[in-house]
Structure 1
């Protein structure tokens, strides 16, 4: 039988192809070494470290800013809680001051002159009202001085307007009910009557002009 010429000894095939395969493997290894060398070059390594450092620095600054904002808000909340803790209590006490003021208004000069009893009661009410206002002032609860002042929408609530040519237009000529502030916050506006028809009020110097909205109404 004729032997197939394609049938070769595996050992002979290996010996014929081994040098070629080895050369290819060596070439591939060199290429891989070049790739690894480029990927880990000092310049690229430094650039990578700088980018990572910048990222960490940015994260740190952002976290620091967040922490400072949280602390600022917490400090403001603690300050407000301490500063305005008596707001609700003040709103309950203010009507007592209103009633004392009404009692003094009812005790006219003629009534006090005509009766020692009325005069004695009026003196007692005056003392009580004064002590109450002193106690309120200790907690920075202050009555708004509205009478004869220019109308201020931040502190006053106009109930009506009355023709009055003897005072500048927009002057508070009567107070129905006193207003109060706690520190810089409005507890209750003064209910007032405002004049109209009078001369125009002279504008205040620019440095003395009140802020457009200088009252905190959040209590």
Structure 2
């Protein structure tokens, strides 16, 4: 995926590691939090950045406390983004209705202020490694497939079910942006955990509904 000086995996040359992209903390720090903005303006301000950077920006607010409805605002563009990554697109496209959705400066400010200290710490351990997991067209399509499924889970209106899939997508996004296969693998593990939690919640809801109707109608 193209990002700053990085133009995607070099499938024809012998060098498996492209030039290191700009750090995500620098990208996040450049976001203007002085006024409300739209999703389209945010995407345009990033220019030809990594899909990983955009995935991180759309996913990570769901990990930290934010105003209600944040997952609904950011979830749909995340679904569209990961779908395009899965399809192998080299640039991001968003429909105009999504581009016009507004993000308040409070949400942006909360995101930037809370994430920068964390990102400064996590970026100390991120580095290009385990290239088979992240640095090929097939690997990026697999990342797109898995994060697309997680984005759908994140978008579902299920209480208390946002944090794990958002954390999984954020880990994968960090790994994709920094070409760190270890971070991507950790994101995969968190993704498995989030699906397991979703299954448990769904089972509990089903059992609760069945028990309610049995008590109500006496069967």
TM-score, normalized by length of structure 1? Answer: 0.23
Looking at CA atoms only, which structure, 1 or 2, has the larger radius of gyration? 1
| Greater RCO (Cα-Cα under 8 Å, separation 6 or more) | 2
| TM-score between the two structures when normalised by the length of structure 2 | 0.23
